[in-house]
């Protein structure tokens, strides 16, 4: 098996899939080269963000794979037409039946896969390969490489178990600034924290307020209303990733809701990897296999009025909590672990 990856890939989004390839085949099976990808344009940031192209040589067979990790559910037609397998993170319900090359892979998250010196050397090599074939400037690419070791951690850091505290919740998320966030993402996260407070739960973290900057106010002129609506839960300084991971593990329950654009957020994959008891609103994108099942892998709530009862049940019923924790981790191991995702992608071509 030989895998060739387009060196123009977005490093921090692709790291999860590269880790999967390494676990399956080792570093020696992976190389980077522009030649197989000359007919794929990188004309703007949108195309740079869209996904990771790769070519697989297996015996005398060669096939093309595109891993689409975009937030939006849209199928990128040029990429879809180019490849033999279109593996998509955020798949609209029903699209797998419409598009024969489409494979639902579910959510992932950025991870650290190398030390900072190797990451920086890889950036230089890959940028030199790609510089005449992309509109993306060196500074933008470098930022994505650096992000992987500044704001992400090894997957083992997520997987190492920590005993949860029985009446403690940690939650950290950003208050986004669009209409969907106001009526869904931010609203549900805020209601979860309100429910925890009413239930007498010890709460740490909260909702990160971006500030009333010109960019924010251009999209949402009344962004400042969040300071009133969620005044008990606002924080304005970023947490370290080490604190985020450790405190999330100590939380007896975590909360998931579709993120901006209705997408699966990285948090969902992180929670499943950690084996957390998850309360979630209904998902807006497909998941692989049978999907997440209420009472088995996750506790679904259909509206904000159901959140309080879910918090209390998971806190007070340890047997149910442990059932959700096992189910979350089992689903991750069956469908979402990096090597499992890549095995599904590669085996789809026989």
Virtual CA dihedral for 36, 346, 270, 179, nearest 10 degrees? 60
Name the residue among 203, 205, 176 with its Cα closest to residue 188: 176
Task: Give pLDDT tens digits for 64-118.
Answer: 999 999 999 999 999 999 999 999 999 999 999 999 999 999 999 999 999 999 9
The Cα–Cα gap between 111 and 158 comes to 10
As to burial, measured by CB atoms within 10 angstroms (0-12 exposed, 13-18 middle, 19+ buried), residue 228 is exposed
Whether 350 and 294 have beta carbons less than 8 Å apart is answered as: no
In the predicted model, is pLDDT for residue 120 greater than 70? Answer: yes
Q: Please give the Cα distance from 107 to 270 (Å, whole number).
A: 9
Alpha carbons 193 and 307: distance in angstroms, whole number: 10
pTM above 0.75, yes or no: yes
Using one digit for the tens of pLDDT, what is the confidence trace for 87-101?
999 999 999 999 999
Pairwise CA distance, residues 110 & 91, whole Å: 19
Around Cβ 231, how many Cβ atoms within 10 Å? 8
Over the stretch 246-303, which tens digit does the pLDDT of each residue have? 999 999 999 999 998 899 999 999 999 999 999 999 999 999 999 999 999 999 999 9
pLDDT for 260: 81
Provide the pLDDT for residue 88.
98
Q: How is 220-281 classified by DSSP, letter by letter? A: -TTGGGHHHHTTTTEE-SPPPHHHHHHHHHH-S-EEE---GGGPPPHHHHHHHHHT--EEEP
């Amino acid at each position: 098996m030989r895998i060739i990856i387009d060196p123009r890939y977005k490093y921090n989004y692709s790291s999860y899939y590269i880790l999967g390839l390494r676990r399956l085949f080792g570093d020696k099976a992976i190389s980077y080269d522009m030649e197989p990808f000359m007919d794929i344009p990188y004309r703007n940031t949108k195309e740079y963000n869209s996904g990771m192209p790769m070519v697989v040589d297996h015996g005398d067979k060669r096939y093309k794979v595109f891993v689409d990790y975009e937030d939006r559910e849209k199928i990128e037609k040029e990429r879809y037409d180019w490849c033999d397998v279109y593996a998509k993170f955020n798949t609209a319900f029903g699209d797998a039946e419409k598009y024969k090359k489409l494979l639902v892979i579910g959510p992932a998250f950025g991870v650290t896969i190398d030390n900072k010196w190797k990451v920086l050397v890889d950036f230089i090599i890959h940028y030199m390969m790609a510089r005449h074939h992309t509109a993306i400037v060196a500074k933008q690419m470098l930022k994505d490489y650096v992000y992987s070791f500044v704001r992400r951690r090894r997957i083992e850091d997520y997987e190492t178990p920590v005993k949860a505290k029985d009446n403690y919740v940690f939650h950290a998320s950003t208050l986004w600034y669009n209409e969907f966030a106001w009526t869904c993402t931010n609203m549900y996260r805020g209601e979860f924290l309100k429910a925890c407070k009413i239930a007498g739960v010890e709460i740490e973290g909260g909702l990160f307020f971006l500030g009333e900057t010109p960019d924010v106010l251009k999209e949402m002129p009344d962004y400042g209303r969040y300071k009133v609506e969620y005044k008990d839960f606002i924080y304005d300084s970023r947490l370290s990733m080490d604190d985020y991971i450790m405190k999330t593990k100590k939380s007896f329950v975590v909360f998931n809701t579709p993120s901006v654009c209705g997408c699966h957020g990285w948090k969902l994959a992180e929670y499943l990897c950690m084996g957390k008891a998850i309360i979630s609103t209904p998902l807006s994108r497909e998941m692989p296999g049978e999907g997440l099942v209420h009472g088995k892998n996750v506790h679904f709530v259909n509206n904000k009025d159901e959140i309080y009862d879910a918090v209390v049940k998971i806190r007070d019923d340890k047997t149910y909590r442990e059932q959700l924790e096992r189910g979350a981790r089992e689903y991750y191991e069956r469908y979402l672990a990096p090597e499992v995702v890549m095995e599904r992608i590669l085996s789809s071509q026989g």
